Each structure stands twice: as C-alpha cells, then as structure tokens.
Structure 1
Amino acid sequence: MKVSMKVDYGVRALVELAQGYGGRAVSTTEIADRQHIPEAYLNQLLMTLGRVGLTSSRRGPQGGYALAKLPEEISLGMVITSLEGESALLECISVPECCTFSTTCAQREVWSSVEEVVQKVLRSTTIADLVARQEQLKAVSLH
C-alpha cells in the first residue's frame, strides 16, 4: 500500500487546522507555507474535504479554512475515503467475483487479513491523535 501525496497533503492540512481548532480560520497561504504544499493544490484538497463536511471556509480578510468537525471525529480512514474513494489492497478482496481463483486463493486470505488490520488502524487513528503525537515529538526534539 502506498499513501498518495494527495492523502499526505490532506492529512497535513487537517492537522494544521486542528492545531488552531476553535480559533480563527487559517488561510491556505499559511498552511501551504508551513507544510510546503503547493497552494493551488491545497485549495483543491480543502474544497474536496469541504464537500464531504470535514472543512469549512470563510471568505474575506479574516477568511480561510477551519475544521467542520472536532479533530477527534475525523479519522484517517475518513480522509482517505474522502480524497481517494474506497479501495482495497487488491480488487478481489472487495469484489471476489473479479477473479476465478477467489474461493481457492490462499494469497487472497493473507491480503484480506492485512487489509483488515490496515483499515482498523485507519478508522481508529484521528486527526486529534496525530496532533497530540506531533506535539510530543516537537517537545522531545527541543530537548
């Protein structure tokens, strides 16, 4: 499994918004500068995340983006699905009919188990978890 830049940038942007959660809206310029994300691409990602209810935007001089949900309510699984749609490691995991060997394939069982573990981690890890861990790592690196 390879995490796309789209997901990486999307998660980084949401973590950035979560760090200021409840405060002012954050401009895409600020996020792009701090996270080294191309601003035009970041705008597209944040609009996509807004369409699924993860971010909200405000126009004007004090405008920008904010989280539309609590950081604890946004899982990595939600972010991936929002940006890339549903996808299994192998097509035969989610669509067994696509392969004539699905019912007798030992390899499919292994990949299915891997998929279950990955999905469990993605569903249980939230943006709030990443913010907390990032703060821990920053504190350690300052010592």
Structure 2
Amino acid sequence: MKVPMKVDYGVRALVELANHYGGEAVRAVDIAKRQNIPEAYLGQLLPILHKLGLIYSRRGPQGGHTLAMSPREIDLRMVTEGIEGAHSPLDCIDVPECCSLSGICAQRGVWATVEEAIQQVLKSTTIGDLLDRQKQLYEVNAEYKKKIEVN
C-alpha cells in the first residue's frame, strides 16, 4: 500500500498545526516552509482539512490556520479516509459480489487481514502521537549534530 502524497502532506500540515495547538494561527506559507510542502499543493489541501472539520481557517492579516480539536483526537484513519476515502487492497474485500471467486479465493482473506491491521494502526495513531515522535527525532538529531561538531 502506497500512501498518497495528498495524505502525506495533509498529515504533515496537521502535525505542524499540532505543534502550535492552543496558540496563534499559523500561516499557510509557514506550514509549507516548515514541513517542506509545496505552497500551491498546500493551498488545495487546507480547504479539504477545513471541510473535514479538522482545522479552522481565518483570512486576513491576523489569519492563518489552527486545529479544530486536540491533536490527540485526530487519528490517522480520520485523515486518510477524509482525504482519500476508504480503500481496500482489493475491491472484493469490501464488495465480495464484484468477483465470482470471492468465496473460494485463498488470497482474499490474507488481504482482508492486512487491511484490518492497517486500519487498526491508523485508528490508534493520533496527530499528537506523531508530534511527540517528531519532537523526539528533532532532539536526537540535535544531539547528533552536536557530536559531529565536537569531533
């Protein structure tokens, strides 16, 4: 399963907003810069996140974007399904009638198990979890840079 770029960028934007949760609104240009998202692409994505109820958007000099709920309440399943819709590895997992072999297909069960595992991970991982991980990685990276500079 390949994660669509739209989902990747959407998650990155939400993690950036989570980093500012409870504070000032963040301008799209700042989100794009900090998360390495093309501004034009982000400009198309932010209205989708707003429509999904995940962010608030405000125009004007004091404008920007904020999370509409706690980062701990936004799970990756909400984001992926909201942006891309639900997708199974095979059509027959959701609609067995689409294939005459569904009832006797050995691989259908395997792909259904894979799909269940993916959905469980997405549902149990929040934007808050990703923000925590990002902060840890930044700390490790900062320590790594210090070691290189000393040697």
Q: 1:103: which partner in 2?
A: 103
Higher-Rg structure is 2
Q: 2:28: which partner in 1?
A: 28
* Pairs within 5 Å for 1:36-75: 36-75=36-75
Q: 1:17: which partner in 2?
A: 17
Q: 2:120: which partner in 1?
A: 120
Deviation at 1:33, TM superposition (A): 1.2
**Runs of 4+ in structure 1 over 2 Å off:** none
Per-residue Cα deviation, 1:69-112 (whole angstroms, up to 9, x for no partner): 11001011110011101111111111111011111111000000
Provide the secondary structure at the position in 2 that maps to 1:8. Answer: helix
Deviation at 1:25, TM superposition (A): 0.5
Q: 2:149: which partner in 1?
A: none
Q: 1:2: which partner in 2?
A: 2
Q: 1:137: which partner in 2?
A: 137
Q: 2:88: which partner in 1?
A: 88
- Tell me, which stretches of 5 or more residues in structure 1 are unaligned? none
TM-score (norm 2): 0.92
* Alignment partners' CA distance in 1, 2:30 and 2:131: 17
TM-score (norm 1): 0.97
